[in-house]
Structure 1
Amino acid sequence: MDINRRNLLKGAVAGAAGTALTGGLLAAGARHDADSAAQADLISPDLVPFHGVHQAGLTTPIPQQRFSTHVALDATAANRAELVALFRTLTDRARFLTSGGTPPDLGVGSPPSDSAVLGPVVLSDGLSVTLSVGSSLFDGRYGLADRKPAGLVPMRGFPNDSLEPAVLHGDLFLQICANNPDTVHHALRDIAKHTRGGMQIRYRLDGFGSPPRPAGVSRNLMGFKDGISQPLSTEHDQLVWIQPGSGDPEWAVGGTYHVVRFIRMLVEFWDRVDINEQETMFGRRRDSGAPLDGAAEADIPDYAADPQGNVIPLTAHVRLANPRTPQTTNSRILRRPYNYDNGIDKNGNLEAGLIFVCFQQDIARQFEATQTRLIDEPLVDYIQPYGGGYFLALPGIRDTTDWYGRALLT
C-alpha cells in the first residue's frame, strides 16, 4: 500500500475549528407584518421535545437534523456552587431555545428580547441540545470524585489512530443539532453568552448530513450510506440507556455513554480507488447501500451462507463492525454520524471527514469491542482518527423544575 497515503497527514492541522457557517442572519429585519409566504420560509414545525426521561438529540429519527456542532468545554467555575449555577443556566437556555425561543442575535421578532417570537408561532427548526460530562469533571475541583462512573475514562488510542491532544477529551460536551446551520450557530452563541465564566470552549467541529439520495439514510463523504444497521427502539433499554443495577451510579440512570471520534478521510486517494474495491472494503453497494449479497439497503447480510467471505469478504467493514453472531449482538451501538468539511490543510489537501458519534450502555463492551474488531481493516489506509473523547450524556430533564445534572450535583 502506498505509504504516502499515511504521510499526507504529517504536519497537517487537524482542524479543531468548525466549518464556516452560512453567512448572514436568518431573515434579518423580519417583521411581524411579513406576509404568510415569508413566514412559511422562516418557521419550521419540527419542535424536538426538551423534557423527558432521556435527553433530546439522542434518538431523533434518521436522517437526523441536517446540521450540528460538537463542542468540548473546560469547566472554569470556581467551585461546586458555581458549577451548579452553570448547569442550571445551561438548562434554562437549552429549554428556552428548543421550545422555540429566539436569540435576539437572530434578528427575528420585535422587540429583540429573549421573549421574542415571530407572530403566534415560534422558531424551533428542529433544534436539540445534548449535554454530556467527561471523566475530567470528576477530579478534585468540585468534590465529585466519589460519584464518577467506573466506565467513564479518557478516550484511549487504537492502532491506526493519530490522536492530537488539542482536540481530545473535555470536562463537558455539547451537541447542538438543527435543520439549518445558522440556528445551530446562534444557539451556541446564546449559550456561550449566558455561561461566560463557567466554561470555556476547548475544541469544536461543525457537521452536516446529506439528504437521503435517493432514499434511506444519509451518505458519508466516501459516498456510502452510513448508519444503516441500528438497534431497534425496543432494544434501547438493553443497548443504549444506563439501567438501575448496572453498576453505574444511580444519578446516571437514564443517561448513556457518548463517544465522539473525529475521523479525517483521505478523499483524494479514495477517489482514485475502483468502485468494486471500494464496495469490497465496505461490504455494501455504493449506489443502493445493499450488502453485497443483497438487493436493498435494509437487507440483512447472510454471513452464515458465506463462511469463507467469497461474497462479503471477512475483512469488510460491515462484517467486522457487526458480525451478527450471538457473541457480538450485545456490542451493537446507536450511531448518529455527521460529515465535516474544513476546506484545505496547509499542504493544500482537502480536509474533510466524519464526526463519528455513538451512544451505548457500556463503552468497553460496545464501542471498544467494535473498534478492536476493526483494527487493521482495509479502510485504515483512507481514514485517520485524530480527536474526540468519551463522555456520559446526562439523564433527561423531567419537567420545568428539573435541571441538567441535578442528581449528580445535589
Structure 2
Amino acid sequence: MRRDQAEDECAAPRHDGRRGFLKCAAGIAGVAAAGIGGPAAAAADRPVGGLRDGGLLPDKVPFHGDHQAGIVTPQQLFAGFVGFDVLAQDRDGLISLFQRLTRRSRVLAAGVKPQDEQVASEEPTPDSLSITLGVGASLFDDRFGLSGHKPRHLKAMPAFPDDRLEPARCHGDLSLQVCAQHPDAVVHVLRDLARETEGLLRPRWRADAFLNPSRPSGSPRTFVGFKDGIVNPDTGSAREMDRLLWVTPPCGEPDWALGGSYQVLRLIRFQIEKWDKVPLARQEKIFGRRKASGAPLDGTRESDVPRYREDPHGSKIPLNSHIRLANPRTEKTENSRFLRRSYNYDAGYDSKGQMDLGLVFCGYQQDPERQFATVQRRLRHEPLSEFITPIGGGYFFILPGVRDADDWFGSRLLQKT
C-alpha cells in the first residue's frame, strides 16, 4: 500500500457533525465503542509515589513550566489516552476550548477534586496527576486559520507494512493524555473535562491503560511477558533532551512550537494465544533478551549493554531480534532514539472469544520521521510482527508548556497567527 493511500484510509472524518460532547459520553465516562481497555487492578499493588524510571513521583505534579507535564514526569501507574475531534465553529470557539481546558487542568493538577469525586467525609488521595494536550494535523485546516502554521513534521500517521489500522481508532484534532496513580482519578478527570468543554469536543477513540508490576524488580512487563522500556534517553540530561525530545530553535519549527514535542501513539494488539504456544527459547531470540531477567542474550542483567560488535553474525543476539533492529547502537542510528512512555491494556474478549490484550505505545521525540518512522522501517517484517498488530493511534504535536497563571494551552499559536 502506498503511503498516501494509507493516510487516506485512516483520514479524519469531515467536521460536518456538530453533536454535543456529552451526547458521546460513552466515549469518555466508559469505554467507547472504538476505544480500548478499562482500568485493571493488576498494578494496584504499586505504592503511591513509588519509584519509577529513577524518579520519585510527587503527590502533585507541577502544571506550569516550559514543557508540559506527563512527558519526562516519572511514569504513573495508570493512563487514559483520548483522540478528539474539535466541534468549535470558529477561531474564537477554539480559543475558548483551549482556555477552558487550561483552567480546569490547572485546578485539577493542583489537587482539587472533580465535582463528581468530592466527598466531604473523606480525605483526598494524592494522585500525582498529569494532563498532557497535543494537536493533530487535521486541526491545521481552514476552519481556524491555522493552515500556514502547522509544525514541520506533523501529519496523519501513515500505515506501516505490518499495520492493520482501523479508521475509527486513528488520528484526531486533539490528543489528551491523563496519567495518575489511581484508575478512578483518570475517569474523574475525563468526566470533569467533558462537562467543562460541552459542545466543543467529540471523542473519536479512547484507550485506558496501566503498568504491570515489574516482578520482581526493574522495568515493568507487558502481556507477552518481557520487560518493556529498559532503554530510554537520559531525561536528566538537558543536552540529550534538546537533541532528541524538545523542539528547539535549530529545528526550524514555527516560533510558537518551541518547547513542544512530537507524540506518537500506537494501539498494538497482541495475538496472545498464538504467542503462548511459542517455546521460551524462540521467544527470547525474537526479543534478544532473557524473559526472566530482561538481560540481553549476551548479558546477565537488564541494564547490561548488548555487545553487538563482538557478535557481528548474530550468534548470541540474532541480527533480526527486536532489540537489535530497534536500536543497533551505532553512531549512525543514535539520533533515531526517542523517549518511550508506554502502557498495557486489557479489553476483555473479542467476538471470537480471544483475549484482547496489548500495548498503548507512547513515544516522544523531536522529529517522528527521523526517529519513530526510521525505527519502524528497521522493524519491518521483524519476527515479532507475527504476534503483534498495530490497529490505531496517531501522530500529535504536544503544545509547549503553560508558563504561568496567565498563560493557556496554545496561546502562542492562537495569539500570534
Alignment TM-score, normalising by the size of structure 1: 0.87
TM-superposition CA deviations, 1:165-195 (whole Å, max 9, x none): 1111100000001011000000011001100
Corresponding position: 1:163 with 2:161 = no
Q: Distance in 1 between matches of 2:119 and 2:363?
A: 34
The one of 63, 76, 87 equivalent to 1:50 is 63
Partner amino acid, structure 2, of 1:154: A
For the pair shown, the structure with the greater C-alpha radius of gyration is: 1
Q: What is residue 120 of structure 2 aligned with on the other side?
A: 109
- Find the residue that maps to 2:208 and give its secondary structure: strand
Partner amino acid, structure 1, of 2:94: L
Q: Distance in 2 between matches of 1:124 and 1:87?
A: 26
Contact 1:101 1:123 in 2 (8 A): no
Corresponding position: 1:338 with 2:351 = no
Q: What is residue 20 of structure 2 aligned with on the other side?
A: none
Structure 1 position 131, deviation (Å): 0.2
Contact 1:207 1:355 in 2 (8 A): yes
Contact 1:15 1:342 in 2 (8 A): no
Structure 1 position 149, deviation (Å): 1.5
Structure 1 position 18, deviation (Å): 3.7
Q: Distance in 2 between matches of 1:93 and 1:124?
A: 17
Q: What is residue 414 of structure 2 aligned with on the other side?
A: 409
Partner amino acid, structure 1, of 2:248: Q
- Find the residue that maps to 1:366 and give its secondary structure: helix
- Find the residue that maps to 1:131 and give its secondary structure: strand
Counterpart mapping for 1:384-403 below 5 A: 384-403=389-408
- Find the residue that maps to 2:249 and give its secondary structure: coil
Does the C-alpha gap of structure 1 residues 196 and 151 become closer, same or farther in structure 2, counting only changes over 3 Å? same
Partner amino acid, structure 2, of 1:59: V
Q: Where has structure 1 moved over 2 Å in runs of 4 or more?
A: 14-23, 107-110
Q: What is residue 191 of structure 1 aligned with on the other side?
A: 193
Structure 1 position 22, deviation (Å): 7.1
Does the C-alpha gap of structure 1 residues 387 and 22 become closer, same or farther in structure 2, counting only changes over 3 Å? closer
Corresponding position: 1:305 with 2:318 = no
Partner amino acid, structure 1, of 2:102: T
Contact 2:80 2:208 in 1 (8 A): yes
The one of 119, 143, 146 equivalent to 2:145 is 143
Corresponding position: 1:19 with 2:37 = yes
**Tell me, which stretches of 5 or more residues in structure 1 are unaligned?**
1-13, 24-43, 111-117
Structure 1 position 211, deviation (Å): 2.2
Partner amino acid, structure 1, of 2:305: I
Structure 1 position 381, deviation (Å): 0.6
- Find the residue that maps to 2:300 and give its secondary structure: coil
Q: What is residue 263 of structure 1 aligned with on the other side?
A: 268
Contact 2:138 2:172 in 1 (8 A): yes
Number of residue pairs the alignment of both structures matches: 366
Contact 1:291 1:301 in 2 (8 A): yes
Alignment TM-score, normalising by the size of structure 2: 0.85
Contact 2:35 2:169 in 1 (8 A): no
Q: Distance in 2 between matches of 1:241 and 1:268?
A: 39
Q: What is residue 179 of structure 2 aligned with on the other side?
A: 177
Q: What is residue 65 of structure 1 aligned with on the other side?
A: 76
The one of 259, 276, 286 equivalent to 1:254 is 259
Q: Distance in 2 between matches of 1:309 and 1:190?
A: 52
Q: What is residue 8 of structure 1 aligned with on the other side?
A: none
Q: Distance in 1 between matches of 2:255 and 2:322?
A: 36
Q: What is residue 245 of structure 2 aligned with on the other side?
A: 240
- Find the residue that maps to 2:303 and give its secondary structure: coil
Partner amino acid, structure 1, of 2:302: E
Q: What is residue 11 of structure 1 aligned with on the other side?
A: none
